[in-house]
Amino acid sequence: MTLDRTLSRFGLASRTRAREAIRAGRLKVNGRVVRDPECWVRPQQDIIQLDGSRLKPARRIYLLFYKPKGVITSHGDPTGRKTVYDYLDELGRWVAPVGRLDKDSSGLLLLTNDTEFADFVASPESRVPKTYLVKLNCLMGEEAIARLRAGMEMKRGDFAKPESVRRVEDRGKYSWLEVVLTQGKNREVRRMIEAVGFKVLKLVRIRIGPLTLENLQVGKWRELKPSEMAALRKCGKTSRF
């Protein structure tokens, strides 16, 4: 396994941060400083040290976070925008988002230091359903909803086929839809809605598999329970974690 991947697998840093640390000379392998992130190591046999301390796997952390609108999922922002990490200061551990929610969207976001778990949830092959509540800019007719259900080609040639689309309600001059996806293309819900001639005014991810935002306030997070982890495993089509 490469040295940068070892740090990531141990739950200590993202691949990007791991490569930065290695190039800065902070890693030793069997007593020798290694600056090549692609250096091949044997984690169970080699003595690998970070800043003088021998590496050991970090405690696995699985967080459910209610992301507010206007907050980005990147680690740091050169323009000073608020990120999800501004809400995690007390955690004191490295975690990374599982997939993303764009700045203008809110709702359920998972964060973890377990890269295999993150891959399982985010991969289209696992088919873990992600459910979104969507407010449109006007009323949507049944014909447009049928087009969404059937799947459509979006801009840049991507094809989107949701698991399901249903009308939640028409409130005043706006329609509210529930959209369920099992893939995670960039801004997929917004692009699907635009492909049938409408715009999204509000987008909230309300569920990932069996996980919901119940009893969680905006901007707050909690750790997942073992029973929730087991239920999440069962809802996927693969068992890679």
Q: Which positions are annotated as active-site residues?
A: 102
Pairing of strands 221-223, 159-160: unpaired
User: Between the CA of residue 127 and those of 124, 162, 234, what are the distances in Å?
Assistant: 5, 11, 11
Report the alpha-carbon distance of residue 200 to residue 135 in Å, rounded: 6
Report the alpha-carbon distance of residue 136 to residue 87 in Å, rounded: 29
User: Between the CA of residue 224 and those of 65, 124, 188, 213, what are the distances in Å?
Assistant: 10, 22, 26, 12
Report the alpha-carbon distance of residue 167 to residue 201 in Å, rounded: 15
Report the alpha-carbon distance of residue 79 to residue 206 in Å, rounded: 29
- Picking from 53, 19, 55, 25, the residue whose alpha carbon sits closest to that of residue 38 is 19
**Positive or negative CA dihedral for 165, 119, 113, 230?**
positive
